[in-house]
Amino acid sequence: QVQLVESGGGSVQAGGSLRLSCAASGHTYSTYYMGWFRQVPGKEREGVAFTDSDSRTSYADSVKGRFTISTDNAKNTLYLQMNSLKPEDTAMYYCAADSPARFSPEFYLRSWAYQYWGQGTQVTVSS
């Protein structure tokens, strides 16, 4: 079992920045994927970015060049640095983990690939 707790959400004006954190605890295997997703009411959960145990990363086209996913293994923490925020980035942001990794990398922007989820942190970007 893996427990995930997000933090760092808030309200910011367009063009601003936020850094989300996801603290992980519990047992993790040597292979894993960790990702960030976001969801607005009435829409499907959208994959934003993921990283794996070899530090490879992938991003949704909508956030490429603006968001950066990273990990601090010593702190068991996943981060999402969000720059140049836009009103359309407004959503509840969720951290997710799949450990041990079960699928090929191309599936990890899909929510069904993940076993564990945090409770979410709200990000609101005003124009």
Query: What's the confidence (pLDDT) of residue 90?
Result: 98
pLDDT tens digits for range 25-73: 987 778 899 999 999 999 999 999 999 999 999 999 999 999 999 999 8
Assess contact for 60 and 45: CB atoms under 8 A. no
Query: What's the confidence (pLDDT) of residue 40?
Result: 98
DSSP 84: S
Confidence of residue 124 (pLDDT cuts 50, 70, 90): very high
Query: What's the confidence (pLDDT) of residue 58?
Result: 97
Sheet containing 18-26: order of strands:
2-7, 18-26, 77-82, 67-72
